[in-house]
Amino acid sequence: MRRPGRVATLLLSGSLLMAGCATVPRDPAARAEFEANHDPLEPLNRGTFAFNLFIDRILIKPLARDYRRVLPEPGRDAIRHFLDNLNEPVIFANALLQGRLKAAGTTGCRFLLNSAAGLAGIEDVASRQKLPKQVGDFGQTLWAWGLPEGPYLILPVLGPSSPRDGIGRGVDIYVDPFRYILRRHNFSTAVSAGRAITDGIDQRARNLDSLDEVQREAIDYYASFRSLYRQHRAAELGGGGPAAPPPGFYEDPGR
């Protein structure tokens, strides 16, 4: 009985995706731009983007403003360092899988030093010791292994992604060692949700002014947001960190 249900679900999902596909332009210049954007699901993505902006306007942005107003910058930085330290094991594992041994070594040293001398990561002692923060996620690992990205994709609430990065995000959440530690104490769901919410609010608070400026000046905010995300992601895939302020109000803590 389960198999027909699964088939129906797959057919429905396929129908929705087909309904959201943009028509390929016939004009050569327009076609070249369409292919460069790599966004065949643009109508569907724009609808999801509008939904995300609505959620941001009524919930996430007000919370981020209150968070920035109530908590002074040193407190926000301490929370950011703590959350980043929790993600170091995932970065370490992905750096190893990509063969980036120097980055893995730096990340391992960062985690040990900040956990011990930085009060569980509240202070970023490692950066002061010339151990810079690295980037690494399973989406990046799949990229290093040669898996194609797939089309640009806006996920509800989570924001910009791709099929490859969506898979990577799920794997990172699944292998996060803190998930298993918390599960032993029956705190997995509550603490993981709190971690995700805090990370999202902190990321949004750090991008309040920059994203407001982009939205104010952009002729097409969706296209500008897509471009910013791609610049940021391209820099991450290259292992060099963000090249531009990330459009971070939908970011996942596993990233």
List C-alpha distances in Å: 252 to 156, 161, 196: 12, 11, 7
The pLDDT value given to residue 32:
55
Tokens of residue 74, six digits: 């040193």
Are 196 and 253 spatial neighbours (Cβ–Cβ below 8 Å)? yes
13 in a structural domain: no
pLDDT tens-place string over residues 61-70 = 999 999 999 9
Cβ–Cβ < 8 Å for 39, 152: yes
Return the pLDDT at 25.
59
In a domain, 53, yes or no: yes
Q: Is residue 209 part of a domain?
A: yes
Question: Residue 35 has what pLDDT?
Answer: 65
CB-side exposure of 66: number of CA atoms within 13 Å?
7
- Predicted pLDDT at 209: 95
Region 11-24: what's the mean pLDDT?
50
**Number of domains observed in the structure of the chain:** 1
pLDDT number for residue 212: 94
Distance from C-alpha of 130 to C-alpha of 83, rounded to nearest angstrom: 20
Tell me the per-residue pLDDT of 97-120, one tens digit each, with 9 for 90 and over.
Answer: 999 999 999 999 999 999 999 999
The CA distance from 206 to 65, in Å, is: 10
Residue 127 lies in a domain: no
Residue 119 lies in a domain: no
CB 228 within 8 A of CB 243: no
Confidence band of 254 (pLDDT split at 50, 70, 90): very low
Average pLDDT over residues 220-240: 89
Whole-number pLDDT of residue 242? 42
Beta strands in the chain (DSSP E): 153-155, 159-161
Question: Is 14 a member of any domain?
Answer: no
Q: What is the pTM of this model?
A: 0.81
- Beta carbons of 40 and 154 less than 8 angstroms apart: no
Backbone angles phi, psi at 158, to 5 degrees: -70, -30
Residue 85 in domain: no
Q: Is residue 89 part of a domain?
A: no
Full domain range(s) for residue 177 = 42-71+135-250
* Calpha distance 97→28 (Å, rounded): 41
Centre a 10 Å sphere on the Cβ of residue 199 and count the other Cβ atoms it contains.
22
Could you read off the pLDDT of 185-228 as tens digits, one per residue? 666 677 788 899 999 999 999 999 999 999 999 999 999 999 99
Q: Note the pLDDT of residue 183.
A: 76
Could you give the count of Cα atoms lying within 13 Å of 214 in the half-sphere of its Cβ?
A: 19
Distances (CA, A) of 162 to 150, 151, 152, 175: 6, 6, 5, 20
Tell me the pLDDT band of 249, cut-offs 50, 70 and 90. Answer: very low
- DSSP secondary structure string for all residues of 52-72: HHHHIIIIIHHHHHHHHHHS-
Q: How far, CA to CA in Å, does 179 sit from each of 19, 59, 93, 174, 188?
A: 37, 27, 15, 8, 6
pLDDT score, position 239: 62
| Residue 183 Cα to chain centre, angstroms | 24
